[in-house]
């Protein structure tokens, strides 16, 4: 097998990204159809005062879930300091904030670095 030129790898990578983007565009169209259909289905469920039903392929039901967000960060942080419930924090470090501190010569304690190497391509203008 002949050795391929580096340009082949780059071009193939870009072609695969283009293919992915086309498929993602199709997925977006289907997601919008699903959202509209869910809206219509919920209207029907509400009209009939039901919370579940069966079709031939699936069972549909209404699921209610509470999600939580910060309303007052200072109060939340004070609560955590007072109670010790640190598990309420997610274990992620903001890359942007961390880099800003590094730029100021400050290195936050207890933070590890995961070094990731990515390969990228950009479509050349036609």
> What is the domain extent for residue 95?
6-103
In a domain, 110, yes or no: no
Structural domain includes residue 57: yes
User: Does 63 fall in a domain?
Assistant: yes
117 inside domain: no
pLDDT recorded at residue 21: 97
Q: Is residue 24 part of a domain?
A: yes
* Domain total in the chain: 1
Distance, CA of 65 to CA of 69 (rounded, Å): 13
Q: What pLDDT, on a 0 to 100 scale, did the predictor assign at position 121? A: 81
120: Cα within 13 Å, side-chain hemisphere: 4
Which uninterrupted H or E stretch holds 44? helix 6-48
Mean pLDDT by 10 residues, the chain (126 residues): 90 96 98 96 95 93 90 93 89 90 92 86 83
Residue 108 belongs to some domain of the structure: no
Does residue 1 form part of some domain? no
- Distance in angstroms (rounded) separating the CA atoms of residues 68 and 79: 15
pLDDT at 71: 92
pLDDT score of 126: 78
- pTM, to two decimals: 0.66
pLDDT at 117: 84
């Amino acid at each position: 097998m002949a050795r391929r030129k580096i340009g082949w790898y780059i071009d193939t990578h870009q072609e695969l990204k283009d293919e992915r983007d086309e498929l993602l565009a199709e997925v977006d169209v289907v997601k919008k159809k699903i959202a509209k259909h869910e809206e219509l289905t919920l209207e029907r469920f509400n009209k009939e005062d039901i919370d579940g039903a069966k079709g031939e392929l699936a069972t549909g039901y209404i699921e209610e879930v509470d999600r939580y967000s910060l309303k007052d960060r200072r109060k939340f942080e004070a609560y955590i300091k007072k109670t010790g419930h640190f598990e309420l924090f997610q274990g992620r470090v903001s890359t942007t904030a961390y880099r800003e501190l590094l730029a100021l010569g400050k290195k936050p304690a207890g933070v590890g670095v995961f070094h990731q190497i990515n390969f990228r391509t950009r479509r050349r203008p036609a």
